[in-house]
Amino acid sequence: MNLKSLTLPELTAVIKELGQPDFRGKQIYTWLHKGVRSYDEMSNLPKTLRDTLAAQYPICAPKVVRKQESQKDGTIKYLWQLADGNCVETVLMRYHYGNTVCISTEVGCRMGCAFCASTIGGLVRRLEPYEMLDEVLFTQIDSGLPVSHVVLMGIGEPLDNLDNVLRFLELVNSEEGMNISMRHISLSTCGIVPKIDELAEKKLQISLAISLHGPNNEIRDRIMPVNKAYPIEVLLEACRRYYAATSRRIHFEYAMIDGVNDREEDAKELLRRLKGLPAHINLIPLNHVEESPLKPSSRAAVARFQSILEGGGVTATVRRTLGGDIDASCGQLRRNYTKQNQ
């Protein structure tokens, strides 16, 4: 058990079992959520308690094994080594409204999307709540920049690790911890329908982003294996249920792939699919992955696609490309590090 994966009441109960008063639980919780690497840093605890905690509940802080900073826009990409030697990526992005951290939720991914480097090599394991929290904490500490927003769009499929993700959301939102507002958190999924329904039941005020990347089953089947289990009609019905339960507008991510999903007829079909659903479409210039034959759409094709969507009354934006001069695409840094160290 890692104490940082516990809520404040749960941690307090563990500390009481050690014969300590309740207030020690809050002291320890606060220290852990400041990102201490050792119990010796907890200066207001008795040394005997610090020694007991170190022996029974070691702190497993991640280590930076790669760090890249963009000279163009200040984006920072980290490759963190976890206690078991596995590595995950985190990206710090600077926006006018604050600093956003994009975190991983798994080591690897089993979803198999054709355009994504994260899925090469498959799923190794799912991250624990404290490991996701550490991505945010130690990115903030190392960069020296305050983090106000979190996006779960890094390596892994968040809904494939839903229980741990829900616990992470509770922890990062905690008033005694980082206190990041749920409205400042976005979760991206490729479309695991039963888990979307389960998430809807929680009625969280997070933003849900659907990795759509195609207007029909033919295209999604080619590039997203999950579509064979949950076809686009089933997925969009789940989105309508999610909106009905939460009243939160859904964001649709759409990677623009040359000759695959960027035609005028694709844009028009997408409009028909989303009719009546409050939605925002985020058009993403595809990041090239060495192992993939897929290529990004031209700027002209992206602009034409956006114009058709907006002409049909749907809000569509083109994602600003950040970290273009570093391994900014999801999974690239981990993939390159793994190849170099095989």
Q: What are phi and psi of 74, to 5 degrees?
A: 80, 5
CA-CA distances (angstroms) from residue 119 to 85, 205, 330?
19, 29, 10
Q: What 8-state DSSP symbol labels residue 216? A: S
> Which residues, 6+ apart, have CB-to-CB distance to 309 below 8 Å?
267, 270, 271, 281, 316
Which of 92, 102, 37, 48 is closest to 70 using CA atoms?
Answer: 92
Q: Retrieve residue 184's tokens.
A: 């400042």
The angle formed by the CA atoms of residues 293, 126 and 145, to the nearest 5 degrees, is 85
Helix (H, G, I), strand (E, B) or coil at 227: helix
Which of 276, 267, 215 is closest to 240 using CA atoms?
Answer: 276
- Which residue of the set 102, 109, 116, 330 is catalytic? 330
Which of 157, 153, 73 is closest to 122 using CA atoms?
Answer: 157
253 is catalytic: no
Helices (H), 226-312: 226-229, 232-246, 264-273, 299-311
330 is catalytic: yes
Q: How far apart are CA 145 and CA 137, in angstroms?
A: 11
CA-CA distances (angstroms) from residue 326 to 52, 74, 99, 293?
43, 11, 18, 20
Give the number of other CB atoms < 10 A from CB of residue 173: 19
Q: Are 25 and 8 in contact (CB under 8 A)?
A: yes
- Which residue of the set 87, 89, 106, 157 is catalytic? 89
Which of 50, 29, 13, 72 is closest to 325 using CA atoms?
Answer: 72
List residues with catalytic annotation.
89, 330
